[in-house]
Amino acid sequence: MNTPKKKKTLLINVAFLVIAAAILTFLLNAPEETTAKLPHDDDHNRFFAMKKKAAGKLCVECHTPEGVYPLPEDHPPKYRCLFCHKRD
Ligand code: HEC
Ligand code: HEC
């Protein structure tokens, strides 16, 4: 039986889906990439030629709390450095 009440429920569900899709699209498009790129300097030049995984293991030579350039305290989870800090 298709009462008016059921139609209304269907409409609400459709509206919900449309809004959810809009929010998802917004989230997927919104974040602009602002993460610092791997610097081109004597400390980092050797990493441009390496495989990402091999290079990533060596970052912690310097980027640890005891290293010459510790990560900021609010740094996000930090495995696979080059996944976020792109090389170009
Ligand atoms: C030999 C020491 C050393 C190693 C190894 C090293 N870094 Fe660095 N890194 C530094 C120093 C010193 C700075 C700060 C000065 C600069 O920007 O070069 C820095 C800065 C950075 C920055 C910030 C750049 C900016 O624009 O603010 C990023 C990102 C970075 N390193 C990523 C990495 C990654 C990823 C690796 C591994 C592939 C790595 N570093 C390995 C010494 C090192
Ligand atoms: C999930 C993404 C992500 C991963 C993985 C990651 N970082 Fe970061 N890193 C960031 C963000 C975001 C910032 C702060 C914004 C910026 O880039 O200035 C940051 C900041 C830094 C900075 C300071 C930049 C500056 O301007 O002083 C360094 C150095 C750095 N990261 C090195 C590393 C190293 C080394 C690794 C691997 C051990 C690593 N990051 C892994 C996202 C990431």
Work out how many domains the chain is built from and give that number.
Answer: 2
Q: Using CA atoms, how far apart are residues 86 and 49, in angstroms rounded to an integer?
A: 13
| pTM of the predicted protein model | 0.79
- Cβ 85 under 6 angstroms from ligand 2: yes
Asked if the structure places residue 64 within a domain, the reply is yes
Asked if the structure places residue 66 within a domain, the reply is yes
Asked if the structure places residue 60 within a domain, the reply is yes
Same domain, 79 and 49: yes
Measure 68 CA to ligand 1 centroid, in angstroms: 9
Q: What is the pLDDT of residues 4-53, one digit of tens each?
A: 788 899 999 999 999 999 988 887 776 667 889 999 999 999 999 999 88
State residue 78's pLDDT score. Answer: 80
State residue 21's pLDDT score. Answer: 94
Nearest C-alpha to atom 20 of ligand 2 is from which residue? 75
Q: How confident is the model at residue 81 (pLDDT cuts 50, 70, 90)?
A: very high
Cβ contacts of 37 within 8 Å, gap of 6 or more = 85, 86, 87, 88
Asked if the structure places residue 40 within a domain, the reply is no
- The pLDDT of residue 2 is above 90: no
Instruction: Compute the Cα dihedral for 12, 15, 19, 21 and give only its sign.
Output: positive
